[in-house]
Amino acid sequence: MYKKFLSLTKNLTVSLEKGLNFLTTQENNPLYFHGALPLYTFWFLIFSGIMLWMYYIPTLDRAWTSVNYITSLPVLLKDASGQLLLKNGSPVVAAISPATGIPYGAVVRGIHRWGAAAMMITTLLHMLRVYFTDRHRSWRWLPWVSGVLLLMFVLFVGITGYLLVWDARAYSLVVSTQAWLEAVPLIGQGLSNFFIGGDAIRDFTLTRFFFFHIGGATFIFWLIWMHFIRLNEPVVTPSRAVNFLTLGFILVAAGVYPAVNVTNNLIAQYPVLAVDKAFIASDAPAQIGHLVEVIRYDAWYLFPYYLIEKVGVNWAWIILGGATILLFVAPFYPKDRRENIAEVVEAKCTGCTFCSLDCPFEAITMQERAPGSKFKLIAVVFAPRCSECGICVGACPFQAIELPNTHSKTIDADVLALLKTGA
């Protein structure tokens, strides 16, 4: 039943991709680079993040101001119909403090914001694609499990990015997170204190969030290493056309919708910001004890808070925890029969390394033979990693590695038999 479901999802996925091939060509179909795209968008976040880091001050009284300083010059605005505001043929430039600010800082922050959205979108796309095509189970469990951890850390780093701005929304999110953590029996209060860096919100709180954000992003690199460790020659960059398409999407989005801090003064000047700010903007500075009436949720990172608001902290734990557990156990069910694992024919193996180099899942290692042997090395198959694909068999010029149920000799005999009947 479950396998039939996976078969159906695979059919639908391949049909969708085939349809897209008409538009993009097979070589440049972004859906074939679903694994490389999150990593590609991550680089945008790293570089734009480093630029923002140069000016960000993680203290309660300076955080919002420092972000505001970064983004105060110059910003193109749009009217309610989505058109760029024009005055005498020139774009209107909104400047909160025209004498200060970082040129195009709002665009860099926009790249950070839109890059973050792109990373979550492409990560989810990658995960769904892998799941729907049944490429997450059995010997692929480590890439899947590390991928689930990556998803969690991308979410965590994204959420802490929202907190660093330290606007009114950030404060409300912190209060909501504390309530969520405190719902954990016994250690809840400790978790909450750990989260805010003490028993109350102080300057250390922002330092702690900054650590979570940068430390989490650094940990993502380690997880990516784990994600790739069992993949031979992983695809780490999309095709050139897909690269430019993604680059264009992020740059255009950041140019048209740069990220700014919206104050009441600015809204009075440009009422359109009151409508558009859900996409591009942060609120006024946070004030301890003042929660926003309505939290503006984005589509990609703040859904846990939406859940907390709608169902309460306990149900949010149950739903999010249950979903996480399901994701972690997904690669272990249903179990496949493992009856055709590659076997090395010791007497024939010359230690040439071809099979080891070509194995797509790093299942074959070369080990030293006993002293006095004719050849120095011998291939050894690590069965749990073997996918039974037979690529190693195709790589071996000496018939020294075989799939027991699909033996080369049988294939040769089948070829000859077919020629006999076909002649």
For other proteins, the binding residues (CB under 8 A) are 10-11, 14-15, 17-18, 26-27, 29, 32-33, 133, 135, 231-233, 235, 340, 354, 358, 360-361, 387-391, 393-397, 403, 406, 408, 411-412, 414-416, 418-419, 421-423
Interior/surface letters 276-312, b for 16+ CB within 10 angstroms, e for the rest = bbebbbbbbbbeeeeebeebebbebbbebbebbeeee
Based on CB atoms, which residue is closest to other proteins, 53 or 225?
Answer: 225
* CB-nearer residue toward other proteins: 33 or 64: 33
Minimum CB–partner distance for residue 173 and other proteins (Å): 39
Three-state secondary structure string covering the chain: CHHHHHHHHHHHHHHHHHHHHHHHCHHHCHHHHCCHHHHHHHHHHHHHHHHHHCCCCCCCCCHHHHHHHHHCCCEECECCCCCECEECCEECEECCCCCCCCCCHHHHHHHHHHHHHHHHHHHHHHHHHHHHCCCCCHHHHHHHHHHHHHHHHHHHHHHHHHHHCCEHHHHHHHHHHHHHHHCCCCCHHHHHHHHHCCCCCCHHHHHHHHHHHHHHHHHHHHHHHHHHCCCCCCCCCCCHHHHHHHHHHHHHHHHHCCCEECCHHHHHHCCHHHHHHHHHEECCECCCCCCCCCCCCCCCCCHHHHHHHHHHHHHHHHHHHHHHHHHHHHHHCCCCCCCCCCEECCCCCCCCCHHHHHCCCCCEEEEECCCCCCCCEEEEECHHHCCCCCHHHHHCCCCCEECCCCCHHHHHHHHHHHHHHHC
Q: Report in angstroms how near the CB of residue 18 gets to other proteins at its nearest.
A: 5
Q: Which of residues 167 and 402 has its CB atom nearest to other proteins in the complex? A: 402
Q: How far apart are alpha carbons 238 and 31 in whole angstroms?
A: 10
Give the residue with the Cβ less far from other proteins, 54 or 423: 423
Instruction: Output the smallest distance, CB 118 to other proteins, in A.
Output: 20
In whole angstroms, give the CA distance from residue 145 to residue 140.
9
Nearer to other proteins, 162 or 228 (CB): 228
Distance of closest approach, residue 170 Cβ to other proteins, in angstroms: 41
Q: Which is nearer to other proteins, 232 or 269 (CB)?
A: 232
Nearest approach, Cβ of residue 98 and other proteins (Å):
49
Our CB check for other proteins shows the closer of 30 and 258 to be 30
128 or 411, CB closer to other proteins?
411
Cβ 315 to other proteins shortest distance, Å: 39
Instruction: Compare residues 367 and 406 and give the one whose CB is closer to other proteins.
Output: 406
What contacts 163, CB < 8 A, 6 or more positions away?
A: 170, 173, 174, 209
Q: How far is the CB of 36 from other proteins (least distance, A)?
A: 10
Least distance CB 235 / other proteins (angstroms):
8
CB of 397 to other proteins, least distance (A): 4
Considering the complex, what minimum distance in angstroms separates the CB of residue 167 from other proteins?
42
Whichever of 188 and 390 has its CB closer to other proteins, that residue is: 390
